[in-house]
Amino acid sequence: MVPLPPDVRMKILVVKLSSLGDLFHALPTVRAVRAGLGARVDWVTQPAYAELVRCFDDVERVLVFPRRGGLAGGPAFLRELRRERYDLILDLQGLLKSALVARLTRGGRRLGPSFHREGARLLYHAVAGPRNKERHAVEEILDTVRLLDLPVPDPVFPVHFPRRELAAGHPRIALIPRSRWPAKNWPVPNFIAAASALREKTGATFFLVGALEDRAAGGAIAQALGAAAVDLCGKTSLVELGSLLHEMDLVLTVDTGPMHLAAALGRPVLALFGPTDPRRTGPYGPRHRVLTAEDLACRPCYADTCRNGQLDCMAGITPECVVATALEMLHDEKPQTEG
């Protein structure tokens, strides 16, 4: 790249369209690149995540990619995309559509990730790092920082949400009982058994969170817990969810996008993993714990539905183990304070 005059800020465009967890995986890289180059950062994402990305500290302008109809249906998006000229375009998605967005930008060097597919590589000037799936997604994306020969600091997740005051006392425990993959879901009776035991031992208040389609599971758990539960499944935007999770003392969750949101906020996460590999997509950071069923040859299978129909990998995680681990984590944590 041609060096810029010292009084001109470099302009960088990040293309990361989805999904929820993947957006947070990219944040440490965006922070390191912005800080290392003294740049301003704009970000292209899908409509569902636009308000969320506006809460990312390092982002100045959010461009909304028209998911339905694609580029042909979004002349307004193309005008907005080409309004600025960028010195560097980082496609951190690695798909053909994200690479096309990068290619249509008025700008300089286009970099793609090692995990590119669908022919996206043809549209990049360079690819960051060798393909290596034996590491966490956060570390994988940080190859972009290494390619630019910038310092790689300890990963941070710069995001802030509006504060939400809660009347409930401590401890406050968020329950995230459902994922889009049926194979990732812990049985509802297990959630009820674990939460009931935690309520008896700690007097906790539980906040059920999830999407509209999670209301049946959330409602069943909330009904069983009675006055100890607040059922918010399908009732929060992503920004409101961020504000809520910020106030939690513990987040008990299956492998799903809000898990990464909670981890990025630094809230202690107890994650239950079955068909997927927590080494790659578990909650990132030292404060979190992951529980899996031991000695199962079939996991990780990365299947969205269980191939043998038994869901042994999730059913094998016992409520007793979850309760014991949650109590250890709550003991290690002080109540949330202002800050």
Q: 176 and 321: one domain?
A: yes
For residues 195 and 226, the answer to whether their CB atoms sit within 8 Å is no
Q: Which domain CATH number covers 88?
A: 3.40.50.2000
Inside any domain, residue 39: yes
Higher-pLDDT residue of 166, 309? 166
Inside any domain, residue 309: yes
Tokens of 120: 């996206």
Q: 188 and 270: one domain?
A: yes
Q: Is the pLDDT of residue 308 over 90?
A: no
Q: 194 and 248: one domain?
A: yes
What are the pLDDT digits (tens) for 128-159? 999 998 899 999 999 999 999 999 999 999 99
Task: Give the residue from 156, 145, 94 showing the smallest Cα distance to 285.
Answer: 156
Tell me what pLDDT residue 297 has: 81
Tell me what pLDDT residue 18 has: 94
Q: Is the pLDDT of residue 7 over 60?
A: no
Q: 219 and 284: one domain?
A: yes
What are the pLDDT digits (tens) for 281-296? 999 999 999 999 977 8
What are the pLDDT digits (tens) for 211-263? 999 999 999 999 999 999 999 999 999 999 999 999 999 999 999 999 999 99
Residues 6+ away with beta carbon under 8 Å from 185: 177, 178, 179, 217, 254, 311, 314
Buried-exposed string 268-288: b where 16+ CB fall within 10 A, e elsewhere: bbbbbbbbbbbebbbbbeeeb
Question: Which residues sit opposite 41 in a β-bridge?
Answer: 12, 59
Tell me what pLDDT residue 10 has: 93
Q: 100 and 226: one domain?
A: no
For all residues of the chain together, what is the average pLDDT?
A: 92
Q: 114 and 245: one domain?
A: no
Q: 196 and 95: one domain?
A: no
What are the pLDDT digits (tens) for 75-126? 889 999 999 999 999 999 999 999 999 999 998 899 999 999 999 999 999 9
Q: 100 and 55: one domain?
A: yes
Tell me what pLDDT residue 174 has: 98
Please, which pLDDT band fits residue 337 given cuts at 50, 70 and 90? Answer: very low
Phi, psi of 268 (to 5 degrees): -65, 125
Q: 193 and 324: one domain?
A: yes
Please, which pLDDT band fits residue 1 given cuts at 50, 70 and 90? Answer: very low
Q: Is the pLDDT of residue 338 over 50?
A: no
Tell me what pLDDT residue 2 has: 40
- Over pLDDT 70: what percentage of the chain? 94
Q: In the β-sheet with 289-291, what is the strand arrangement from edge to edge?
A: 229-231, 205-208, 172-176, 250-254, 269-272, 289-291
Inside any domain, residue 228: yes
Q: 88 and 194: one domain?
A: no
Q: 135 and 183: one domain?
A: no
Tell me what pLDDT residue 72 has: 54
Range of the domain at 298: 172-332
Inside any domain, residue 245: yes
Q: 208 and 299: one domain?
A: yes
Tell me what pLDDT residue 334 has: 56
What's the total number of domains in the chain? 2
- Global confidence as pTM: 0.92
